[in-house]
Amino acid sequence: MNVAFIGLGNMGLPIARNLIRAGHTLTVYNRTRSRAAPLESSGAQIAATPVEAAANAEALITMLADDRAVEAVMFAPGNAIQALRAGAVHVSMSTISVALSRRLAEAHHERRQHYVAATVFGRPDAAAAAKLFVVVAGAPEQIRFCQPLFETVGQKTFVVGEDAPAANVIKLAGNFLITATIEGLAEAIALVRKHGLDQNAFLEFLTGSLFSAPVYRNYGGMLAADKFEPVGFKLPLGFKDNRLLLAAAEEVAVPMPLASLVHDRFVAALAQGLAEADWAAIGHISYQNAGLKEAT
């Protein structure tokens, strides 16, 4: 398939690599051109602008940090939506607001283009291993057309409906559950530590019994060590997702008091200078509140 790929960050770069390895023809664009350079030797064409990237694409994939970045690529003067041909499909893998996803669906429909939201769950190592979980919503025929792309980057695809923004709701709700797990783990570990018990033994018990899911193992290890590197997902991006979640909840009048607590944890973590840490660093605030020193 002739694919345009825009956004080569920590997630986008390994996804693009896997698409090239699978034999797809890629034209890539990234605002910082040096991020695209490693793909050129693998056969990708590097575009100078989003318009150039999108011009001949059957599928345009965006994997960008936030609404502002997506809007700049798709709606700013000289934007990709104008270059994308009628009948082509825009596959948005970015974690964006429900409102922007809805706007994209409408704009593509007006231009006789197609739009599929295909949000992904997994950290950069999962992206590199093509082990992401892909949550997709859009027209069934477009999902079928894009299925080879999803199979290349992920281990399983979940189709959640024909209304594209549904995938964005699922993504925000899922990310909220991850942060709620981080918060719960941090509070539990703070309690165990304050009682003088070994947090690593506690984590071994959790992950060897009722809480064996990867989210407990992976984030639990970070929290038990009170170390939040290497960074798979920067804390400000998690904060952005939390704000998008609360906006989506407000739109349909759904109270989410735990999400509001997590919001305050993000604010406190940023105030403590943790902007460069993994988003799991919100758990460090529970340790501070409990008067705990750095874990040993």
The pairing of strands 114-121 and 132-137 is antiparallel
Catalytic residue among 131, 171, 234, 293: 171
State the distance between the two ends of the chain, measured CA to CA, in whole angstroms.
51
C-alpha dist (Å) from residue 96 to 75, 112, 122, 217, 296: 15, 22, 16, 27, 38
3-state secondary structure of 296: coil
Q: Where are the alpha helices (DSSP H) in the chain?
A: 12-21, 37-40, 50-54, 67-74, 80-83, 98-110, 124-128, 140-153, 165-194, 199-207, 214-225, 235-251, 257-271, 284-289
Q: How many residues does the chain have?
A: 296
Q: Is 194 a catalytic residue?
A: no
Enter the DSSP assignment of 233.
Answer: S
Contact present, 81 and 110 (Cβ < 8 Å): no
The residues annotated as belonging to the active site are 171
